[in-house]
Amino acid sequence: MTQIQPGTLTLDRVSYAVNGKTLVRDISLEVAPGEMIGLLGPNGAGKSSLLRTIYRTNRPSAGRVLINDEDIWKRSASWGARQVGAVLQDMPADFPLTVHDVIAMGRSAHKRLLEPDNDHDRRLIAAALALLQLEPFADRLFRSLSGGERQRVLVARALVQQPSILVLDEPTNHLDIHHQINLLRFVRNLGITVIAALHDLNLAAMFCDRLCLLHNGQMQACGTPESVLSEENLADVFRIDATLTRNPRTGTVWIMPA
């Protein structure tokens, strides 16, 4: 997995509107190679809508999305698929594929239709199975897995794609606390460029370099966890009354709702 080259992600005044309704408004962000960004915000804030502009599902109504200074919407869909790996909120699972085959699908962006797996593909798939501790599941049907096990398979699929940017939409959904921490630490240590929508503010502060807070489709704040997770922002955006402290072991900001 080490040959993944992290890329630069640039959002340049990105807006996204559908049926005359603007879901994402004028978002600018520069993500450095290897940086991990946590995208925060209440339900309906526009996190998934914004992430879809990066994995080439929502075409921005204004602004540009650039990877390594190339406008992804000016390149082909297959180029985009080689650059961006995505793990999404609710992926359908009602198909008779094994875990191995679901992970192998991650290689399709690099291959012609129906081209068989070569040694390089097989090495990447084996490495991803090992990294995510999925070897015992390789021959199981994907749909027979628990929600958390499926989530790890989808991360493995995104990794074999060897993208320069990894987009995660609530990757810790369905995971128990042990696997939430493991997954975020694992992704953080990959050294790849990551943008992840997260709901657990404390874990986001522990693992992300910067946090960006969306509110009604707009960027309310973006910066260090300390600067973004202020009592004011928590009250304004999440409508909670919270006291801020620090995790005594990690030193990161820790939120205690009242």
| Residues found near ligand ATP in the complex (CB under 6 A) | 18-19, 21, 23, 41, 43-49
Considering the complex, state which of residue 18 and residue 130 has its C-beta at the smaller distance from ligand ATP: 18
Q: Give me the least distance between CB of 121 and ligand ATP, in Å please.
A: 33
Residue pair 64/224 in contact by the 8 Å Cβ criterion: no
Q: Give me the least distance between CB of 170 and Mg ion, in Å please.
A: 6
Considering the complex, state which of residue 21 and residue 249 has its C-beta at the smaller distance from ligand ATP: 21
Q: Which residues contact 210 (CB under 8 A, 6 or more apart)?
A: 35, 37, 38, 222, 223, 224, 225, 228
Please tell me what DSSP assigns to residue 12. E
Stretch that binds Mg ion, among 39-47, 126-134, 186-194, 234-242 (CB under 5 A): 39-47
Q: Give me the least distance between CB of 39 and ligand ATP, in Å please.
A: 8
Options 8, 15, 48, 161; binder of Mg ion; rule CB under 5 A: 48
Considering the complex, state which of residue 6 and residue 46 has its C-beta at the smaller distance from ligand ATP: 46
Q: Give me the least distance between CB of 63 and ligand ATP, in Å please.
A: 16
Neighbours of 151 (CB within 10 A): 24
Q: Which residues contact 45 (CB under 8 A, 6 or more apart)?
A: 214, 215, 216, 217, 237
Q: Which of 58, 86, 93 minimizes the C-alpha distance to 73? A: 58
Residues of this chain that interact with Mg ion (CB under 5 A) are: 47-48
